[in-house]
Structure 1
């Protein structure tokens, strides 16, 4: 039964080798994610993870890969003893492996769900997840302010504030109520992963929560305890 959850984003900027001279500028996001991951590893060294990727539904485990496709050959693996090499591991799986290694966890089994998975199916999937430690990877809107990756959208602030409040208060009903169409318009790729989390049996309390938005992208970090 899942009894600890870490919610993190999965941008390439978490990996220092990929950001060139912006290591210091991206340090707050990296530090928040590593703190949440280390909390999860202290609870259990073997993680279940859920993230959103167009290649889903699929599950990845015991594989190794590299961030070469993002500019630098930084190798990572999903377990201490990988049994296969995946030359094109999706970004969320690469970040899950990087966090696993830097947090000192033993393994992470990554479940990828498609970005358009309906809320009801997300919730149902969450109710069936196994393990004790769950890593939830997903980014918020990429339309915050003038530095936005996408076109700036005033709705981004309200959307990510609603997500922030839901994560900070472990409010699964609010997560269940996120609008998939709005999330898609705002480029909030984490919507389906957060709604999978909403289906994981509780009750829950949040012990850590943070929201950051460098470069116009919203990043949510939280730790939930059963």
Structure 2
């Protein structure tokens, strides 16, 4: 059963070593992420599942590795401590789960953890089924859900400026604040998400299906630095 959740963005620049001189620009987002993760830890989950987009759909077990080397920093992170005697996983964490693993390490989480990498263009019914199954992996499950909004909020954004982006990001923030009461995530079109370079669609759909309606939702951060919609929210 899902007892708490944190929603965080997953740009590599969230990691100060990667951002280098630009690190202060995301201080507010970083602080909000820390607060949201603390909400999950405070619920004393038996297991934390980190959910994020990647090129394939698969589970990453505890101890899986990710790296920030592609972004110029010689640093690896683990998805929690590898169980004693466990063999190293052949699968590397995608960026979304690598940033999630970094956030959990930063928060000092030492309990059980797993990762779930999900393709961005999967259908809502399938993502919804995954959410139910992931929330049932333990009696008390916490989610750390990684994903960005549109990447088209300015002419310097990765996807250039798209007039639709600001309105879509506003709807994302509203859905995160009310637990997707109106079904926005379930109905978020995969083609639109692809055109606006949204990486959070599938992870947010998984969260929606896993959540109970009576959860307490908060949006802790909402902004578009670098022309990309970043959101931090939690659910207790």
- Taking structure 1 as the reference length, the TM-score comes to 0.92
CA distance in 1, matches of 2:9, 2:79: 17
Tell me the residue number matched to 1:70.
71
Query: Deviation digits for residues 155-202 of structure 1, max 9, x if unmatched?
Result: 000111101001011124222121211111100011111111111140
RMSD over aligned CA atoms reads 1.8
1:145 equivalenced with 2:178 (yes/no): no
Shift in Å, 1:114: 0.9
CA distance in 2, matches of 1:155, 1:11: 22
- Of 215-224 and 35-44, the range deviating more from structure 2: 35-44
1:120 equivalenced with 2:125 (yes/no): yes
CA distance in 2, matches of 1:55, 1:87: 11
Shift in Å, 1:97: 1.1
1:98 equivalenced with 2:107 (yes/no): no
Q: Label 1:201 to 1:170 Cα distance change in 2 as closer, same or farther (>3 A).
A: closer
Tell me the residue number matched to 2:223.
212
Aligned residues: 225
Tell me the residue number matched to 2:3.
3
Shift in Å, 1:66: 2.4
CA distance in 1, matches of 2:25, 2:211: 37
Query: Deviation digits for residues 84-115 of structure 1, max 9, x if unmatched?
Result: 26684311121111011111112421111111
CA distance in 2, matches of 1:34, 1:2: 19
Contact 1:65 1:86 in 2 (8 A): no
CA distance in 2, matches of 1:218, 1:108: 27
Query: Deviation digits for residues 93-145 of structure 1, max 9, x if unmatched?
Result: 21111011111112421111111111111111111113421111111110002
Contact 2:149 2:198 in 1 (8 A): yes
Unaligned runs of 5+ in 2: none
- Taking structure 2 as the reference length, the TM-score comes to 0.88
Contact 2:12 2:71 in 1 (8 A): yes
